[in-house]
Every structure is written in structure tokens, then in C-alpha cells.
Amino acid sequence: MTDRAFAVVRAGALTTVQDRGRPGHAHLGVPRSGALDPCASALVNRLVGNPAGAAVLETTVDGCAVRPRCAVTVAVGGAPCAVRVDGRPAAWGAPVRVPAGAVLEVGRAVRGLRSYVAFAGGVAAEAVLGSRSTDLLSGLGPAPLRDGTVLPLGPRPASAAGSDAVPWPAAPGELVLRARLGPRDDWFTAAALRLFSTRAYRVSPASNRIGLRTEGPPLERAVTGELPSEGMVLGAVQVPPDGRPVVFLADHPTTGGYPVVAVVRERDLAAAAQAVPGTTVRFIPVR
């Protein structure tokens, strides 16, 4: 077993290939996609000596298990979890050498939702529109991992692992999202805008890579008519007919017909990737 590839032993609830995504194609109806927690993705790449945009695995809730066909340095980060190599405990948040044929197990997230697995050389799945990211909405990129899937690895990086360990932010106990009101805040009553900016919401279990759905007080509309479909951006807070805000994440649709009450700052969205169902959400209007 000398070829640079790995086989999936256990795919987990949802494990996908992600890099920095494919921005700039919204006019084709293609979302940006990419790692929901780009900081965690960049950090695990740094640990194995990859460039920050190399493709990694993004796991959801219960991890995954893979068997490299060659000896390779890996790093697991993002949501804290147990890491094992052939059943033996290994380091989380640090480079780990995995022998050819050994099984790397990424366990269930202890805090947060999504863990990231970087391999020295990166996951070399076929690129589509300049990205190897799995897009759950459009279906572009490699399919979500299944048991038995085999994916290639890129060439070994010229440099050694970039760091022995790095600091990791904790999963949020409370998700604070700074948001600029508009462009359709005038479609809501003054009371609704006060609710949006002062009341607490909760992360809904129905959240996914497309959007973070919330539970809490519905926002009353001042305009009840239909809104023609218009372009959507990362972080847009769309309000569907039930009145409960949805924050668009990496795999969001590029157009939508429900009013957008605000747009969340992009730098706050990494924390949204790790917010488990039930986490308190507060929207803070900013200028």
C-alpha cells in the first residue's frame, strides 16, 4: 500500500471535502461553499505544512474513520474530539503520523459540531470551478463520503509540519452575530426590529451547511406582498413565512424570494459552524 490515497472506513453522519470554496460564481447560480469554519480548516492545514486553502475533510457531529494507503501526517482540529490510530489514543490539535494501512478514527464532537482533518499534501479530489469543495445545494464537487470511498492525496508538501500545536477557540456558549440591517428591514414592523435586536433565539436542529435556522419570537412583517427573487449573499438573514430568521451559510442559494432583514458579518460565521442545537443566538445590529 504505497499509493497516495485513503479509503473511508466509516463515513459518519456527514463528512465532506472542503477548501476555501468557489467564490465569484453566483451569477451562474453556484454558491461559494467551502469550510464552514475556515479558521479551523486553515489551522489544521498549517499543522501538516499545507497551504491554508488545501482541501480537508469536514465532519459533522460523530466524526469518521479513514485508512491511508501510505504513511502520512494528519491533524484533527475544529470541534474537540477523541483521535485514535489503530485504537491507540493520538493527539487532537497537533500533527500525528499515521502509518500506511492504519485506521485513523475521528471521534464524536465533545463540544461544537464540526471537526476538520488535514492530510499532508491535501485531499486531491477533482476540482470543479477551481475548488474541491462539496456543495450540498448544487451537487458540485465530490459527493459526501460513503463507506468504501477512496480519495487521492496530493504530493507531500515541501516543508515539514508548520507547528507542533496551536491555540483553538472553544465552541460558543452563546452565539453573538453582528449584523447590518437591510436591505429589506423596511418590510418589518418597528416592533419586529426591536425583537430581532434584543431577544434571544436558539439554534434549531434543522440547521445545516445551507443555513443556520433559529427558534424564537417570529418577526412580524409590515409588508405582506410577494418579493421578487433577488441575489443572496453569505450571512444574509432571510425571514421565511414562519417569521424565524435563517442565517445563510456557505452552501446558501444564490437567489431567494423572502425578505432579508440583515446581513451578518462574515468574520462571525465561523462560530456559527460550531454552534450546537439549543445554543442561544443574539443578533447585534451594527452600522
Give me the tens of pLDDT residue by residue for the chain, a chain 287 residues long.
459 999 999 999 999 999 999 999 999 899 999 999 999 999 999 999 999 999 999 999 999 999 999 999 999 999 999 999 999 999 899 899 999 999 999 999 999 999 999 999 999 999 999 999 999 999 999 999 999 999 999 998 876 665 555 666 777 889 999 999 999 999 999 999 999 999 999 999 999 999 999 999 999 999 988 899 999 999 999 999 999 999 999 999 999 999 999 999 999 999 999 999 999 999 999 98
Considering the domain architecture, whether residues 117 and 84 belong to the same structural domain is answered as yes
Tell me what pLDDT residue 1 has: 42
Residue 101 forms part of a structural domain? yes
Residue 158 forms part of a structural domain? no
Q: How many domains does the chain have?
A: 2
Indicate the residue type of 125: A
Residue 167 forms part of a structural domain? no
Tell me what pLDDT residue 167 has: 62
Residue 157 forms part of a structural domain? no
pTM of the model: 0.90
Residue 194 forms part of a structural domain? yes
Considering the domain architecture, whether residues 141 and 220 belong to the same structural domain is answered as no
Considering the domain architecture, whether residues 206 and 129 belong to the same structural domain is answered as no
Considering the domain architecture, whether residues 146 and 234 belong to the same structural domain is answered as no
Considering the domain architecture, whether residues 118 and 188 belong to the same structural domain is answered as no
Three-class SS state of 39: helix
| Burial tier of 129 (Cβ tally within 10 Å: 0-12, 13-18, 19+) | middle
Residue 209 forms part of a structural domain? yes
Contacts of 247 (CB under 8 A, 6+ apart): 177, 211, 212, 214, 235, 236, 237, 264, 269, 272
Tell me what pLDDT residue 90 has: 92
> What CATH code is carried by the domain that includes residue 241?
2.40.100.10
What gap in Å lies between CA 32 and CA 35, rounded to an integer? 10
Residue 256: count other Cβ atoms within 10 Å of its Cβ: 18
What gap in Å lies between CA 115 and CA 218, rounded to an integer? 32
Listed residue (233, 284, 235) closest to 264, CA to CA? 235
- Main-chain dihedrals φ then ψ at residue 185, nearest 5 degrees: -65, -20
Residue 166 forms part of a structural domain? no
Given 152, 186, 208, which residue is the final one in a domain?
152
Domain that holds residue 281: 174-285
Considering the domain architecture, whether residues 140 and 179 belong to the same structural domain is answered as no
Cell numbers describing residue 183 = 436591505
Tell me what pLDDT residue 261 has: 98
Q: Which residue do the cell numbers 440547521 mark? A: 207
DSSP string computed for 91-111: -SSS-EEE-TTPPEEEEEESS
Task: Determine the straight-line distance between the first and last CA of the chain, rounded to whole angstroms.
Answer: 57
Considering the domain architecture, whether residues 33 and 126 belong to the same structural domain is answered as yes
What gap in Å lies between CA 39 and CA 168, rounded to an integer? 9
Residue 236 forms part of a structural domain? yes
Considering the domain architecture, whether residues 14 and 125 belong to the same structural domain is answered as yes
Tell me what pLDDT residue 161 has: 60
Q: Quick check: 80 and 136 in contact, CB under 8 A?
A: no
Considering the domain architecture, whether residues 146 and 213 belong to the same structural domain is answered as no
Q: Which long-range CB contacts under 8 A does 129-132 form with residues at least 24 apart?
A: 129/22, 129/25, 129/30, 130/22, 131/19, 131/20, 131/21, 131/22, 131/33, 131/34, 132/17, 132/18, 132/19, 132/55
Given 94, 121, 152, which residue is the final one in a domain?
152
